[in-house]
């Protein structure tokens, strides 16, 4: 039996080797699909074919130029696509985490997500702009330090008050960390994706930008239209109602559906009634 295993060991090793390479290539292509990196990858493939042609046809000068430029091309790729590389590493890190560490560090409790949904719905009905960012596994301390530190308990009243146009902190984003409002009036990096629709303004571009550089979640309320937008991993879901936003938050934060089957509090009922009247 041992001899048979040793005989087929090289074959199993080669099969595992090919399977791992296939998985990595598949995941990388999936991450690159629909991004600005696709034309760059096509250009790199063409340069590789040109280099192969130069070697095959013994074009010494062209081969020397391409070989000398290889190092600088690698550095340029790292500089130009640092956000995509960071997002890919986050993607692999989240999926290779051990089961004992599987719980999201930014997963919210049973009642917290309702505060976010209700606040977003209220702001939407009054066409008040808002940007709420929820930290998950990748820390946002570098962004939190640029805003006004609050470290306050997250609540519907606090979120609505912060984004009131008459308050000093309404301009910028609110970052939620460990079920608390870590900071307000935070200015986020804008996305550099040229494929983003021109209909999306600065607030939406900031929401996309922070999710491209981390695994955070963004909830945006448009000041012009009152539409609610959900952003995760650079992907945008627009024109959401209360139920759609709640479902997306539950899915992204991995909150069991059973937790939603509870009777709303009196405050929640009164608030929803006011929203309906508006």
What residues contact 188, with CB distance under 8 A and at least 6 apart? 131, 133, 143, 172, 173, 206, 207, 209, 210
pLDDT for 218 equals 93
Mean pLDDT of 70-79: 72
Residue in the structure block whose two tokens are 């307000």: 184
Select the highest-mean-pLDDT range: 82-86, 212-216, 255-259. 212-216
Q: Give residue-wise pLDDT tens across range 198-234.
A: 788 888 999 998 888 788 899 999 998 899 999 988 8
What is the C-alpha to C-alpha distance for residues 91 and 23, in angstroms, rounded to an integer? 14
**Third-level CATH fold of 112-277:** YojJ-like (1 (3.40.1700)
What is the C-alpha to C-alpha distance for residues 188 and 197, in angstroms, rounded to an integer? 19
pLDDT for 163 equals 94
pLDDT band at 278 (very low <50, low <70, confident <90, very high): very low
Instruction: Assess whether pLDDT exceeds 60 at residue 36.
Output: no
For the chain, where are the E strands, in sequence order?
Answer: 130-134, 148-153, 173-177, 180-186, 217-221, 228-232, 235-240
pLDDT for 105 equals 47
Domain regions of the chain by residue span: 2-101, 112-277
20 vs 27, which has greater pLDDT? Answer: 20
SS3 150: strand
What is the C-alpha to C-alpha distance for residues 278 and 122, in angstroms, rounded to an integer? 9
Q: What is the pTM of this model?
A: 0.61
Q: Give residue-wise pLDDT tens across range 120-150.
A: 999 999 999 999 999 888 788 888 888 999 9
Q: Average per-residue pLDDT in the chain? A: 76
pLDDT for 56 equals 85
Q: Which two tokens stand for residue 63?
A: 């081969």
DSSP string, 187-239: PPPPP--TTS-TT--HHHHHHHHHHHSSS-EEEEE-TTT--EEEEETTEEEEE
What is the C-alpha to C-alpha distance for residues 120 and 246, in angstroms, rounded to an integer? 10
pLDDT for 84 equals 63
pLDDT for 181 equals 92
pLDDT band at 174 (very low <50, low <70, confident <90, very high): very high
pLDDT for 179 equals 84
Instruction: Assess whether pLDDT exceeds 60 at residue 154.
Output: yes
Q: Which two tokens stand for residue 199?
A: 């209909």
Query: Which residue, 210, 197, 179, is CA-closest to 238?
Result: 197
């Amino acid at each position: 039996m041992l001899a048979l295993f040793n005989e087929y060991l090289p074959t199993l090793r080669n099969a595992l080797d090919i399977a791992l390479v296939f998985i990595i290539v598949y995941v990388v292509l999936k991450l690159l699909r629909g991004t600005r990196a696709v034309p760059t990858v096509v250009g790199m493939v063409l340069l590789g074919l040109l280099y192969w042609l130069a070697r095959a046809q013994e074009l010494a000068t062209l081969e020397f130029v391409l070989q000398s430029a290889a190092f600088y091309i690698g550095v340029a790729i790292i500089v130009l696509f640092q956000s995509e590389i960071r997002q890919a590493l986050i993607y692999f890190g989240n999926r290779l985490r051990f089961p004992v560490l599987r719980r999201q560090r930014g997963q919210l409790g049973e009642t917290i997500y309702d505060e976010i949904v209700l606040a977003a719905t209220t702001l939407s009905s009054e066409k008040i702009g808002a940007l709420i960012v929820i930290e998950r596994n990748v820390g946002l301390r570098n962004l939190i330090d640029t805003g006004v530190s609050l470290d306050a308990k997250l609540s519907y009243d606090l979120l609505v008050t912060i984004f009131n146009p008459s308050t000093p902190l309404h301009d910028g984003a609110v970052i939620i960390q460990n079920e608390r409002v870590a900071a307000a009036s935070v200015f986020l990096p804008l996305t550099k994706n040229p494929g983003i629709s021109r209909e999306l303004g600065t607030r939406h571009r900031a929401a996309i930008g922070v999710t491209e550089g981390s695994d955070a979640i963004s909830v945006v309320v448009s000041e012009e239209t009152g539409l609610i937008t959900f952003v995760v991993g650079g992907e945008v879901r627009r024109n959401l109602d209360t139920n759609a936003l709640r479902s997306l938050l539950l899915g992204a934060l991995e909150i069991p559906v059973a937790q939603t089957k509870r009777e709303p509090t009196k405050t929640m009922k009164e608030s929803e009634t006011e929203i309906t009247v508006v």
